[in-house]
Amino acid sequence: MKIILIGIQGAGKSTQGNLLSEKLNIPYLSTGHIFRDLAKEKTSEGRYIKETVNSGYLIPDDNVLKIVSDYLHRSAYENGYILDGFPRTITQAKAFENGIDKVIYLKVSDKEALWRLSGRTDDREDNTLAAIRMRINLFHEFSQPVLNYYKEKGILIEIDGEKSVEEINDGIISKIK
């Protein structure tokens, strides 16, 4: 099964991705983690990604498509995956024709996302309030067309992301089976 998780930062995509990975026995892949790993590299691509991510902007579509495609061609993902953080734009969604079975939209209010993020204790450089607000605004600007695209394809499942972790996970499992 090939699943995409969509939601604003703080919606619980990573939590649900890891839970689904265990229950469905398919790997979880987060583009955020990929980009943070690449940003640590002492290469021009690594520096570019670090500067872009830390400022709260989106990495251009062509770069993202290539990076995600390279990862998904690995043998670990040939039997399916749970993908978090991609696609973020309608261009990416239309260019990514990879037999997606379901797209799960974890719907969370901006207020709830900011509250959740304020409680995080990680030392990520891109967790400044300005960068978080920028990503939330970019999510609303670019992701609504993506959600509409997958809704038209009949594979979008909207989940109330403000419930408990268990209720969210149960809701997802019941709708993908």
Residue ranges of the domains in the chain?
2-176
pLDDT tens by residue, 63-110: 999 888 888 888 999 999 999 989 989 999 999 977 899 999 999 998
CATH of 2-176, one of 3.40.50.800, 3.40.50.300, 1.20.120.140, 3.30.43.10: 3.40.50.300
CB 132 within 8 A of CB 36: no
* 154: region left, alpha or beta (phi > 0 left; psi from -120 to 50 alpha): left
State the Cα–Cα distance between residues 30 and 17, nearest whole angstrom. Answer: 9
Closest CA to 175 of 10, 15, 16, 12: 16
d(CA 144, CA 147): 5
Distance between CA atoms of residues 145 and 159, nearest Å: 18
pTM here? 0.84
